[in-house]
């Protein structure tokens, strides 16, 4: 169309030669979005406070009732695991944040300007995921080490305090950090799949927190298999340093948990590409 070049004034008037919606730029954009809503800070603070608080409570409770423990319970006593057990509640905060990172785009309508600015939808989802994963890992590590060191004084009275150098302990504490990442991405995946805040949070919390407890009641070998392979039951094994009566090996469990968020995320990504925004 040669007629277009004959417009009265040359538009655009500004030269932004480096302008492009590259992955790096979209990550910068998502980083700004992530930190520019107040709920991000408060949810991360909730993660840290809840995890450290309940880990300390668990350490205090278990260490003071040590002499009432049965010999078999003593044999399975896992001091580092106990000292990180606040994650059972803390994981819900990061999962909720993971859900909201995606679903608030839909609940506010912000997804339309987002996808208009960057029509490559998978790039948007990837950038969101990378930003969230970086934050979840860093905050997860801070949470894990804080919980571990806050709980140890309670065990020191019983001369049971664990050291990072003890077998499996460093792996358990770092494992707690990446467990935060996995439970966050679990929420993120269901947010991308369901696109609805309340629905995604309900499902994520049910699958991470409620159902794993209920499954403990399942009888027989298959019941044990389902229990062991279910979401947080599998993922939580990365926090253990002593073999438990039920449960997968630490890394087997963590990889199983990874599959739990990877599959819904893949379906969510496929649907994001297919569906009308």
Partner 1 sequence: MIEAQGLTKRFGDKVAVDDLSFTVKPGIVTGFLGPNGAGKSTTMRMILGLDRPTHGRALVNGHAYAAAKAPMREVGALLDAKDVHGGRTASAHLKSLALSNGLPTARVLEVLDLVGMGEVADKRIKGFSLGMSQRLGIAAAMLGDPQILMFDEPVNGLDPEGILWIRHFMQREAAAGRTVFVSSHLMSEMALTAEHLIVIGRGKLLADTSVSEFISQNSAGSVRVRTPQLESMRDALARAGVKVIDIDGFLQIEGMTTDQVGDLAAANHITVHELFAQRSSLEEAFMEMTRDSVEYQAHYDDAAFDSAMAGGTK
What string marks each residue from 92 to 131 as x (binds partner 1 by CB under 8 A) or -?
------------xx--xxxxxxxxxxxxx-----------
Q: What is the rounded CA–CA span in Å between residue 71 and residue 228?
A: 24
Q: Which of residues 6-25 bind partner 1 (CB under 8 A)?
A: 7-14, 16, 18-22, 25
* Contacts of residue 50, Cβ cutoff 8 Å, sequence gap at least 6: 86, 89, 90, 93
Of the residues 37, 133, 211, 262, which one makes contact with partner 1 according to CB under 8 A: 37
CB of 188 to partner 1, least distance (A): 17
Token pair listed for 257: 């948990």
User: Considering beta carbons, is residue 111 or 152 the nearer one to partner 1?
Assistant: 111
What string marks each residue from 47 to 86 as x (binds partner 1 by CB under 8 A) or -?
----------------------------------------
CB of 182 to partner 1, least distance (A): 26
- CA dist 103 → 131, 134, 265 (Å): 16, 19, 13
Yes or no: say if 241 and 169 are a contact pair by the CB < 8 Å rule: yes
User: Is residue 197 part of the contact set for partner 1 (CB under 8 A)?
Assistant: no
Yes or no: say if 80 and 173 are a contact pair by the CB < 8 Å rule: yes
Grouping H, G, I as helix, E, B as strand and the rest as coil, residue 195 is: coil
Size of interface with partner 1, in residues (CB under 8 A): 46
Q: How many CB atoms lie within 10 A of CB 224?
A: 16
- CA dist 158 → 82, 152, 239, 241, 268 (Å): 14, 10, 21, 18, 49
User: Considering beta carbons, is residue 101 or 208 the nearer one to partner 1?
Assistant: 101
Q: Where does this chain bind partner 1 (CB under 8 A)?
A: 1, 3-4, 7-14, 16, 18-22, 25-26, 28-30, 32-33, 36-39, 104-105, 108-120, 274, 276-277
């Amino acid at each position: 169309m040669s007629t277009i070049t004959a417009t009265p004034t040359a538009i655009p008037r500004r030269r932004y030669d480096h302008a492009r919606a590259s992955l790096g730029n979209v990550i910068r954009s998502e980083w700004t979005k992530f930190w520019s809503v107040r709920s991000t800070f408060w949810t991360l603070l909730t993660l840290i406070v809840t995890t450290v608080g309940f880990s300390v409570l668990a350490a205090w409770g278990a260490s003071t009732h040590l002499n009432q423990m049965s010999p078999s319970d003593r044999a399975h006593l896992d001091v580092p695991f106990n000292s990180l057990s606040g994650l059972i509640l803390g994981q819900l905060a990061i999962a909720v944040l993971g859900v909201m990172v995606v679903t608030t785009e839909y609940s506010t309508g912000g997804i339309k300007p987002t996808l208009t600015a960057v029509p490559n939808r998978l790039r948007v989802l990837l950038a969101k995921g990378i930003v969230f994963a970086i934050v979840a890992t860093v905050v997860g590590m801070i949470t894990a080490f804080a919980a571990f060191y806050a709980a140890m004084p309670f065990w020191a009275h019983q001369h049971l305090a664990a050291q990072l150098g003890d077998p499996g302990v460093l792996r358990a504490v770092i494992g707690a950090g990446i467990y935060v990442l996995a439970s966050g991405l679990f929420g993120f995946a269901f947010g991308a799949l369901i696109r609805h805040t309340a629905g995604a949070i309900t499902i994520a919390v049910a699958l991470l927190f409620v159902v794993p407890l209920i499954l403990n009641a399942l009888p027989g070998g298959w019941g044990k298999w389902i229990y062991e392979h279910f979401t947080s039951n599998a993922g939580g094994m990365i926090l253990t340093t002593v073999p438990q009566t039920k449960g997968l090996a630490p890394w087997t469990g963590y990889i199983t948990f990874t599959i739990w968020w990877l599959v819904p995320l893949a379906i969510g990504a496929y649907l994001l590409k297919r569906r009308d925004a």
